[in-house]
Amino acid sequence: MNRGNRNHSEGGRGGRRGGGVGGGVFRGGPPNRGDDRLTRADALWNERLMQIMGPTHELPPTDSTERKFLSQCRLYIGNLVDCTEDELIEMFKPYGEVSENFLNKEKMFAFIRLDYRANAEKAKRELDGQTRKGRMLKIRFAPIAAAIKVKNLTPFVSNELLEYAFSIFGDIERCQVMVDERGNSTGEGIIEFSRKNAASNALKRCSEGCFFLTSSLRPCVVETYEFVDSSDGLPDKLLPKKTMDFQKQRDTGPRFANPNSFEHEFGTRWKQLAELYKSKEEALKREMKLEEEKLEAQMEYARYEHETEMLREQLRQREMDRERQKMEWEMKERQAEDQRLREEDIFRRQSEDLSMRMHHQDEEMRRRQQDNSSFMQDHRGGPGKPQFDGPPIPVEAQGGMESTPFVETFVRDNQGVLPPPGLFDAGPRGDRGGRWGQDRRNGQDRRRF
């Protein structure tokens, strides 16, 4: 089975519009009732084309296994007089299996497809020229309607690549690139599809667009293939012997013209015309070769310019990206700086508020100390009463109360000033310390002066 059978289904329709190397898209016709069908076919061709657009350095060899019922096994039978389909099948049944047949009784011809090429050649060889019901049968290989000819191929297009590329249009029965006597490609190839619509679609799409097979910008040119049966040539029995032209041409046999004769003069002119045709053909080939080289050079220069422009565009894009990233970085840096300044301002305000609170607390403490000093002066008798600068008064001088560390501390801190009467008197239970001790027992610090 060939590559078309492995990768793609039968009856595909395809085409593509010219594009870059390996690129292009398929397109449908003008809007009509079949738009949906064309759209589905275009989607199928695009999907197949996407699968083969990659590198083609290594392609598997073409399967050369002989297949049955190919187009090459189809025969044309002429001069069929009073023949039915059953009789036609019985006539070719000894030569192999019959796949399909078509019979036109009015025009007395038919087509039949055998299983293998060898069987078809045998049937043609044995039945051609036989007389049937007074008429001589004419058997030829039928023209292959599903074949196309591909031109303008590069030297690196092989049978495998040609089949691989055109398999998107449908199943391929035979595909080969024509070569010269040295085995070099002539730039032409023959493709035989399994169905006629696949060949017509390939011809239409490649004519409308540019279908590239390699990285070269040389699109392949597709033409209809005129089948020529060269196996038998032209036998004498097929010539119209009853015409006047045949009789006139065959009156004289082969000969060499005598020098300086009428025949020699016009024979020389015909030879000169043939030489002129040959020289013009060679000159045209040389001119076309120069034009091809010129176009190839222009193509390479245009490719170089295109790639250079693409690199420039990429460089411009990278510069724009760099500028955008720089602006984004600067913006982020400004935002970070603004955030830092805001945080510093907030910290400064918090510090000022804290300093102000501490200052207020210091002022409040200083005011309270002044109030306490004023209160102490009022209890000592006013600012005019002399203060006691001597040693602390013994406890016995204050009513016989025991001396305690608290009392001593109070006396020492107040520079010998006597406490108010009853401050250190005994409490209700006879406890030492009076009201001060009771306040200490209640957990309250009420130093009332």
Q: Residue 371: helix, strand or coil by DSSP?
A: helix
- Residue 324 has what pLDDT? 93
Give the count of beta carbons closer than 10 Å to the beta carbon of residue 105. Answer: 13
Helix (H) or strand (E) holding 93: none
pTM above 0.85, yes or no: no
Contacts 24+ apart (CB under 8 A), 34-40: 38/13
Give per-residue pLDDT as tens, 148-169.
999 999 999 999 999 999 999 9
CA dist., res. 83 & res. 89, Å (int): 10
Structure tokens at 136: 């001589």
User: Low-confidence residues of the chain, pLDDT below 50?
Assistant: 1-34, 385-390, 395-403, 406-407, 410-411, 415-418, 422-449
- Residue 160 has what pLDDT? 93
Q: Which residue shows structure tokens 């016995």?
A: 396
- Residue 231 has what pLDDT? 67
Structure tokens at 29: 């016709």
CA-based Rg of the chain, rounded to a whole angstrom? 59
- Residue 262 has what pLDDT? 85
CA-nearest of 207, 187, 204, 214 to 52 is: 214
